């Protein structure tokens, strides 16, 4: 498989604030790649570097084999983009905007356009000014999905969509994958990422802190072990590889990846009840996000 | 609500009003020092009152004392500046936040449907009073009589209040901030032109325009404070209707229902240039239509009353100072302002996020930039051509032989506007955030140059550094052929540099 997107050590600052701080990202052809991260992590900035709208201060970027900053117009004919907050020309109707953007892209496909408008239940005769947030988002989605593009770049594309429309969106992404298109999907919605993405990169404070398949990411994190013991546990601090230990009388909760040692030690106190829970994506999310001091990291990095 | 609006407007709004007030004072003080003796001023008054051009553009001189001359020179500008301050402040605080959705955040706080409008009326009233006090006090300072100075202040305040009430109403009726501003400004322009026509015609024709009513107070001559009442009554009526609508309509709605449009784009809408033209079409047609009407009016008035007296005022740079010549001389300034505003809409495309939709498609940035420059260029040209055509048509009866020259006399001056549009384009490509401020400072500097020449601070020859003086001054002035070509080359060079520079800038 070839890599459609390759970012290496991208650094981008706005004044004193460092939005991207040595970001690495690789997206292979044919995969749906999720971009997860808290607000302000740098997801949109990453995407704007990929689109050639921002010039990275340092690092190398390749999109479809070209540097997006210098070769921008050519590569942009081969990709389609939906921003998280689609804004439209207030006096044009939704249908006019979709046609105009398709013509700018090249390769207008009437049948495909009409089918998508139907599926997203969009009224193309309304002036953009009167569209709700969700309807504007639909215009953006129809515009991007109705043209031929090898790479779809979607920045929180479902914000404002109702659950039914979100379902339609998920179908569209699956179809795109089956057609062999590559998708970059930035999102806050875990179920969406879990269902759609082959691989996920987690962004925090301008860096990709982890990347891999869902299974791989789960492996990185720790499993939550909860137990009621017959005797009060002591001397646990000599154990390595355990975290977040809370002891409440005979109750203990901890997270670990070292089952052998932990179980042996716990058994020595007598186990009455035991639950072992694999991490959900939520836990993962919290694990990466909750390392608070996002802002401090950023300040420290630029000081 | 009023507190919040006041806080937000403390700098922005009050600066507008106070700067306008100070500018008016500078103009008044300038003319007074240019004509220091009573004899000077009597000569000036005699020639002004005999010139339809001066009567139309500025108005009659009704008193030759210091205050009277200062007031005369300032009043026409005052109507425009103070009115614009009020219109912009009003729309910025009513329709603009409603359109962008900021009002919704406040709406939940049960502030009452008419509260934003009431607060904006409060702020514009305070601003108008402030401008009135600055100007009134300034007139006292330059040695004008107390009663007259007080009434001048009252006139200034009245212009501000009237325009605020007007914009309050358009802001309630029209759904977009741009539309509300545009219609209110069109009314201000119409009031200005009708005041000009009324003064040129003379007699009771001042009743044509509310600005004429206010001018009829005639401080230093009649001191007729009663003439403030008709405008005050109109202001109160407009504001009351606006408040009545505001308390009844839905947030975000206008009075005019929203129509549906075509489901498909016409074949002509296919790229950045057609898009820019399409989004600016309404404004371009509106300004051109306005210019045509102005041209017809000026051509019509001037054929009957203009006696082509040559005044000592410097600003017309050798193109004569008859009404037609003065109007044509000033026209590229308006074309430049329209062109700059049209080109600057590129900035709005970026901040709104719409630029992303275009630039994430295979559209080169240079083409996208050029699309807006071309639109600005055509907007300016359209305005100038319409003005010249209007004048030519209205002059058909008296001067049919000059039809051809007159019809293109406006359009020929377009290169002056193009230089400023090209400069704006370059600014957008290099310092986008400051582009608007710098472009208008440059335009303002050239206007200051005109005033400096008029007040004889610098020699007349200095005007030949101004694009406005270098364009063909037809029908009566110098055709300036190579100067016009030079201006076009400068504009082309600036634009070319801009299309190269934009490649090196982030779009944000
Ligand atoms: N044009 C800009 N000027 C200044 N700072 C910016 C600009 N764009 C982004 N930033 C800053 O860069 C950081 C990353 O922003 P970015 O929009 O990429 O975050 P994000 O991950 O997309 O967040 P969200 O989930 O809220 O969309 C933020 O701290 C933001 O304030
Ligand atoms: Mg974002």
pLDDT tier, B11 (very low <50, low <70, confident <90, very high otherwise) = low
Condensed to tens digits (0 to 9), the pLDDT of residues B438-448 reads 999 999 999 88
More confident residue, B420 or B397: B420
Of A161-175, B101-115, B390-404, B444-458, where does mean pLDDT reach its minimum?
Answer: B101-115
Residue A125 in contact with partner chain B when CB distance is under 8 A: yes
Residues of B in contact with A14 (CB under 8 A): 508
Q: What is the pLDDT of residue A298?
A: 35
Q: Do residues B14 and B127 lie in contact, with contact meaning Cβ atoms separated by under 8 Å?
A: yes
Whether the Cβ atoms of residue B28 and residue B73 lie closer than 8 Å to each other: yes
Is the CB of residue B409 less than 8 Å from the CB of residue B328?
Answer: yes
- Is residue B95 very low, low, confident or very high in pLDDT (cuts 50, 70, 90)? confident
Average the pLDDT over B383-387 and give the result. Answer: 97
Query: Is A136 at the interface with chain B, CB within 8 A?
Result: no
Chain mean pLDDT for chain B: 87
**Residue-level pLDDT at A116:** 97
Q: Hey, what are A37's tokens? A: 């991260």
- Give whole-number Cα distances, A198 to A53, A127, A148, A168, B143, in Å: 27, 38, 22, 19, 82
Q: Is the Cβ pair B265, A54 closer than 8 Å?
A: no
Q: Of B465, B303, B482, which is closest to residue B400 (Cα–Cα)?
A: B303
Domain boundaries, chain B: 1-257, 270-508
Q: Can you tell me the distance from the alpha carbon of A223 to that of A283, in angstroms, rounded to the nearest whole number?
A: 10
d(CA A85, CA B353): 8
- H/E stretch holding A36 reads strand A32-36
Reported as a single tens digit per residue, the pLDDT across B282-335 is 889 988 988 998 888 788 776 544 443 344 344 444 444 477 888 898 899 999
Q: Is B479 exposed, middle or buried (0-12, 13-18, 19+ CB in 10 A)?
A: middle
Would you list the domain boundaries of chain A? 3-218, 222-277
Chain B interface, best mutation among A94, A104, A130, by max B CB count within 10 A: A104
A72, A83, A90 member nearest B356 (Cβ): A83
pLDDT band at B108 (very low <50, low <70, confident <90, very high): very low
- The fold of A3-218 is Rossmann fold (3.40.50)
> Which one has a higher pLDDT value, B169 or B465?
B169
Q: Is the peptide bond before B475 cis (omega within 30 degrees of 0)?
A: yes
| Cβ proximity of A111 and A146 under 8 Å | no
The secondary structure element, H or E, covering residue B313 is: none
Tell me: pLDDT of B436 over 50.
yes
Find the mean pLDDT for residues B6-14.
66
Task: Tell me which of B162 and B296 has the higher pLDDT.
Answer: B162
Of B10-24, B80-94, B120-134, B296-310, the one with minimum mean pLDDT is B296-310
* Residue A119 CB burial class (10 angstroms; 0-12, 13-18, ≥19): middle
Report d(CA B468, CA B490) in Å as an integer: 14
- Shortest distance between the Cα of B252 and any Cα of chain A, in A, equals 10
Q: Which residues of chain A have pLDDT under 50?
A: 292-303
- Rounded to the nearest angstrom, the distance between the alpha carbon of A16 and the centre of ligand 2 is 19
What gap in Å lies between CA B271 and CA B368, rounded to an integer? 9
Task: Beginning with the edge strand found earlier in the chain, give each strand of the sheet holding A223-229 in spatial order.
Answer: A242-248, A251-256, A223-229, A271-277
Among A129-143, B2-16, B176-190, whose mean pLDDT is lowest? B2-16
Tokens 């593009």: give the residue: A149
- The secondary structure of B395-432 as a DSSP string is THHHHGGGHHHHHHHTGGGHHHHHHHHHHHHHHHHH-G
CB within 8 Å: A127 and B261: yes
- Whether A113 is in the pocket of ligand 1, judged by its Cβ within 6 Å, is no
Q: Give the nearest partner residue to A125 out of B261, B282, B356, using CB atoms.
A: B261
For residues B179 and B282, give the distance between their C-alpha atoms in angstroms, rounded to a whole number.
9
Tell me which residue has its CA closest to atom 30 in ligand 1. A40
Counting Cα atoms < 13 Å in the Cβ hemisphere of A197 gives: 29
The set of long-range contacts for B129-134, using a CB threshold of 8 Å and a minimum separation of 24, is B129/B157, B129/B160, B130/B14, B130/B17, B130/B18, B130/B21, B131/B17, B131/B18, B131/B20, B131/B21, B131/B82, B131/B85, B131/B156, B131/B157, B131/B160, B132/B21, B132/B156, B132/B157, B132/B160, B133/B21, B134/B18, B134/B21, B134/B22, B134/B25
Judged by CB atoms closer than 8 Å, whether chains meet at A140 and B269 is answered as no
Nearest to A76 among B259, B264, B362 (CB): B362
Token pair listed for A261: 């040692």
Minimal-distance CA residue of chain B relative to A153: B360
Q: Which two tokens stand for residue B377?
A: 């260029």
pLDDT at A257: 75
Q: Would the CB atoms of B506 and A54 count as touching at under 8 Å?
A: yes
Distances (CA, A) of A58 to A20, A294, B139, B504: 10, 22, 60, 15
Question: What one-character-per-residue DSSP string does B107-144 give?
Answer: HTT---TTHHHHHHHHHHHHHHHHHHHHHHHHHHHTT-
User: Which numbered ligand comes closest to the C-alpha of A188?
Assistant: 1
**Phi/psi zone of residue B418: left (φ > 0), alpha (ψ -120 to 50 degrees), beta?**
alpha
Give the per-residue pLDDT at B314: 40
Q: How confident is the model at residue B248 (pLDDT cuts 50, 70, 90)?
A: confident
* CB contact B258 to A (< 8 Å): yes
State pLDDT tens for residues B24-34.
888 888 888 88
**Lowest mean pLDDT across A34-38, A254-258, B122-126, B233-237:** A254-258
DSSP H or E run through B473: none
Round to the nearest angstrom and report the end-to-end CA distance of chain A. Answer: 40
CA distance B489 to B493: 6
Integer CA distances (angstroms), A219 to A213, A259, A275, in order:
10, 13, 18
Residue A230, exposed/middle/buried by CB under 10 A (0-12, 13-18, 19+)?
Answer: exposed
Phi/psi at B118 (nearest 5 deg)?
-60, -45
Distance CA A291, CA A41 (A): 13
Both tokens of residue B247? 């308390």
Alpha-carbon span A140 to A15, nearest angstrom? 30
CA of A91 from ligand 2 middle (Å) equals 26
Give B170-235 as a DSSP string: HHHHSSSHHHHHHHHHHHHHHHHHHHHHHHHH-GGGGGGSHHHHHHTT-TTTT--GGGHHHHHHHH
**Pair B132, B23: CB distance under 8 Å:** no
B456: left (phi > 0), else alpha (psi -120 to 50), else beta? left
CA A97 to chain centre: 27
The pair of three-digit structure tokens given for residue B74, joined into one six-digit string: 């300032």
């Amino acid at each position: 498989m070839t890599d459609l997107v390759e970012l290496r050590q991208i650094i981008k600052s706005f004044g004193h604030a460092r939005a991207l701080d040595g970001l690495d990202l690789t997206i292979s052809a044919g995969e749906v790649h999720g971009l997860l991260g808290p607000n302000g992590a740098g997801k949109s900035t990453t995407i704007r570097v990929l689109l050639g709208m921002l010039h990275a201060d340092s690092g190398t970027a390749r999109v479809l084999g070209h540097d997006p900053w210098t070769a921008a117009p050519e590569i942009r004919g081969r990709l389609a983009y939906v921003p998280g907050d689609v804004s439209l020309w207030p006096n044009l109707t939704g249908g006019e905007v979709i046609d105009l953007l398709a013509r700018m892209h090249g390769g207008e496909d009437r049948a495909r356009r009409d089918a998508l408008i139907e599926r997203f239940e969009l009224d193309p005769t309304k002036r953009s000014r009167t569209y709700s947030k969700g309807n504007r988002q639909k215009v953006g989605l129809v515009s991007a999905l109705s043209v031929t593009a090898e790479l779809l770049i979607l920045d929180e594309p479902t914000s404002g969509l109702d659950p039914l429309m979100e379902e339609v969106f998920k179908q569209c992404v699956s179809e795109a994958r089956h057609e062999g298109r590559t998708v970059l999907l930035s999102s806050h919605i875990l179920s969406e990422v879990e269902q759609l993405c082959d691989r996920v990169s987690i962004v925090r404070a301008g860096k990709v802190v982890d990347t891999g398949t869902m299974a791989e990411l789960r492996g990185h994190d720790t499993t939550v072990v909860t137990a009621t013991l017959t005797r009060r546990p002591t001397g646990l601090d000599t154990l390595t590889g355990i975290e977040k230990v809370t002891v409440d009388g005979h109750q203990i909760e901890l997270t670990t990846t070292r089952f052998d040692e932990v179980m042996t030690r716990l058994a020595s106190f007598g186990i009455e009840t035991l639950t072992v829970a694999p991490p959900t994506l939520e836990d993962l999310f919290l694990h990466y996000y909750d390392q608070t001091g996002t802002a401090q990291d950023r300040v420290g990095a630029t000081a | 609500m009023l507190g919040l609006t006041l806080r937000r407007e403390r700098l922005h709004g009050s600066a507008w009003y106070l700067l306008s007030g100070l500018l008016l004072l500078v103009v008044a003080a300038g003319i007074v020092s240019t004509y220091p003796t009573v004899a000077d001023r009597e000569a000036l008054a005699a020639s002004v009152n005999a010139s339809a051009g001066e009567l139309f553009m500025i108005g009659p001189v009704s008193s030759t004392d210091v205050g009277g001359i200062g007031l005369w020179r300032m009043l026409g500008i005052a109507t425009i500046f103070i009115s614009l301050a009020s219109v912009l402040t009003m729309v910025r605080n009513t329709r603009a936040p409603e359109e962008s959705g900021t009002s919704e955040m406040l709406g939940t706080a049960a502030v009452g449907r008419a509260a934003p409008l009431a607060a904006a009326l409060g702020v514009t009233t305070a601003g108008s009073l402030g401008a009135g006090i600055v100007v009134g006090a300034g007139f006292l300072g330059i040695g004008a009589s107390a009663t007259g100075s007080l009434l001048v202040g009252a006139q200034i305040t009245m212009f501000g209040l009237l325009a605020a009430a007007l914009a309050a109403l358009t802001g309630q009726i029209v759904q977009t901030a741009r539309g509300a501003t545009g219609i209110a400004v069109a009314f201000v322009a119409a009031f200005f032109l009708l005041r000009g026509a009324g003064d040129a015609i003379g007699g009771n024709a001042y009743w044509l325009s509310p600005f004429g009513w206010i001018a009829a107070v005639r401080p230093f001559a009649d001191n007729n404070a009663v003439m403030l009442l008709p405008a005050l009554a109109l202001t109160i009526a407009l504001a009351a209707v606006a408040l009545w609508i505001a308390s009844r309509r839905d947030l975000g709605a206008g009075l005019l229902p929203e129509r549906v449009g075509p489901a498909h784009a016409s074949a002509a809408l296919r790229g950045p240039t057609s898009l820019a033209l399409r989004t600016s079409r309404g404004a371009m047609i509106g300004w051109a239509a306005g210019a045509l009407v102005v041209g017809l009016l000026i051509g019509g008035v001037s054929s009957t009353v203009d006696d082509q007296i040559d005044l000592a005022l410097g600003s017309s740079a050798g193109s004569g100072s008859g009404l037609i010549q003065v109007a044509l001389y000033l026209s590229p300034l308006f074309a430049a302002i329209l062109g700059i505003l049209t080109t600057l809409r590129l900035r709005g495309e970026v901040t709104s996020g719409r630029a992303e939709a275009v630039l994430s498609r295979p559209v080169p940035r240079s083409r996208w930039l050029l699309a807006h420059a071309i639109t600005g260029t055509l907007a300016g040209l359209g305005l100038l051509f319409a003005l010249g055509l209007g004048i030519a048509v209205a002059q058909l009866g008296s001067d049919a032989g000059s039809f051809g020259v007159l019809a293109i006399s406006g359009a020929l001056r377009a290169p002056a506007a193009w230089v400023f549009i090209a400069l704006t384009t370059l600014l957008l490509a290099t310092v986008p955030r400051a582009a608007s401020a710098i472009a208008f400072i440059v335009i303002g500097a050239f206007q200051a140059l005109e005033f400096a020449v008029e007040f004889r601070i610098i020699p007349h020859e200095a005007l030949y550094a101004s694009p406005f003086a270098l364009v063909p001054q037809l029908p009566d002035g110098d055709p300036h052929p190579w100067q016009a070509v030079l201006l076009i080359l400068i504009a082309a060079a600036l634009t070319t540099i801009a299309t190269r520079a934009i490649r090196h800038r982030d779009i944000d």
